[in-house]
């Protein structure tokens, strides 16, 4: 979002120096150059094939209390069991999971390995509130996000154990 503000300022400054009409002509020419550049540097081959449909298949967590929508921040921890042979591929796949989680609103994402059990890997991230976490699961996840998480889960043994933590003190 900052690039929009900076760009606006710079184009405004250019317009003050060379005039509005010439500035608009330059921007139009730049736009045509960008459109023509698709012939030289085409878009990624899968750009039009990414599944952007909203995925509503995420289960509602079973909690021992009903959190208020504003309760938070919520820390979510997923515990995976990963064999030593799959660990490098799993860590690589989790980079896409990290990007997916951050794109849908997660903060403070981390991937940790257990010091006591070499097969245990913990994914942890936070959401600002319970309502934000639920929106992340019910409104922001796409089919592509589902594919990303499925590819990481295929490299683990079984389903991860998911737990949710709320602040203990107000």
Per-residue pLDDT at 52: 63
Q: pLDDT per residue over 119-168, tens digit each?
A: 999 999 999 999 999 888 888 888 888 899 999 999 999 999 999 999 98
CATH fit for domain 49-165, picks 3.30.70.100, 3.30.465.10, 3.40.50.300, 3.40.1390.10? 3.30.70.100
From CA 97, how far away is CA 160, in angstroms rounded? 14
Q: pLDDT per residue over 66-94, tens digit each?
A: 999 999 999 999 999 999 999 999 999 99
Q: Take residue 115 and report the two structure tokens written for it.
A: 């010091």
Q: Where are the domains of the chain?
A: 2-40, 49-165
Per-residue pLDDT at 115: 95
In a 13 Å sphere around the CA of 162, the CA atoms on its Cβ side amount to 12
Q: Of 57, 141, 55, 53, give the one whose Cα is nearest residue 103.
A: 141
Distances from the Cα of 49 to the Cαs of 74, 138, 151, in angstroms? 33, 22, 17
Distances from the Cα of 135 to the Cαs of 81, 97, 169, in angstroms? 27, 17, 24
pLDDT at 9 over 80: yes
pTM equals 0.68
From CA 131, how far away is CA 2, in angstroms rounded? 27
Give percent of the chain with pLDDT exceeding 90.
Answer: 65
């Amino acid at each position: 979002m900052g690039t929009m503000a900076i760009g606006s300022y710079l184009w405004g400054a250019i317009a003050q120096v060379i005039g509005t009409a010439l500035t608009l002509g330059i921007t139009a020419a730049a736009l045509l150059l960008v459109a023509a550049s698709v012939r030289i540097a085409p878009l990624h081959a899968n750009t039009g094939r990414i599944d952007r449909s909203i995925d509503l298949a995420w289960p509602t967590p079973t909690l021992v209390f009903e959190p208020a929508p504003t309760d938070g921040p919520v820390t979510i921890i997923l515990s995976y069991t990963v064999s030593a042979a799959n660990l490098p591929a799993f860590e690589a796949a989790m980079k896409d999971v990290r990007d997916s989680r951050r794109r849908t609103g997660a903060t403070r994402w981390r991937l940790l390995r257990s010091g006591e059990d070499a097969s245990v890997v913990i994914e942890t991230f936070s959401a600002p509130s319970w309502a934000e976490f639920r929106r992340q699961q019910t409104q922001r996840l796409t089919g592509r996000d589902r594919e990303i998480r499925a590819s990481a889960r295929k490299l683990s043994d079984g389903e991860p154990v998911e737990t949710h933590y709320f602040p203990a003190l107000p």
